[in-house]
């Protein structure tokens, strides 16, 4: 079974703005998504017929969210280590 991940970019009243791993932005009614959804959450969604997301299968994937946060922290730590500091001269 094929899955995709969507991160919650922001919540605007009754709409959740999601970003796919391909960088596509999707607006979904919050009522169609799992309870407890918050900004920064990562959802795993199964693909249904005709290779489209089956939103009724969406679940919050806490482990994937933790993995992504660790990866982002590692990238920032690497950038900090390579930063010479000081002002930028243009």
**pLDDT tens-digit readout, 9-36:** 999 999 999 999 999 999 999 999 999 9
According to the CATH classification, is domain 3-82 in 2.70.98? no
Q: Note the Cα 60 to chain centre separation in Å.
A: 10
For 5: left if phi > 0, alpha if psi spans -120 to 50, otherwise beta; the answer is beta
pLDDT value for 20: 94
pTM of the model: 0.81
Q: Does 52 score more than 90 pLDDT?
A: no
The structure tokens listed for 25 are 């932005």
């Amino acid at each position: 079974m094929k899955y995709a991940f969507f991160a919650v970019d922001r919540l605007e009243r009754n709409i959740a703005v999601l970003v796919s791993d391909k960088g596509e932005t999707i607006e979904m009614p919050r009522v169609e998504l799992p309870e407890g959804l918050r900004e920064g959450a990562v959802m795993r969604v199964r693909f249904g017929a005709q290779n489209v997301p089956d939103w009724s299968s969406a679940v919050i994937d806490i482990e994937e969210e933790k993995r992504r946060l660790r990866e982002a922290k590692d990238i920032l730590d690497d950038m900090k280590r390579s930063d010479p500091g000081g002002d930028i001269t243009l």
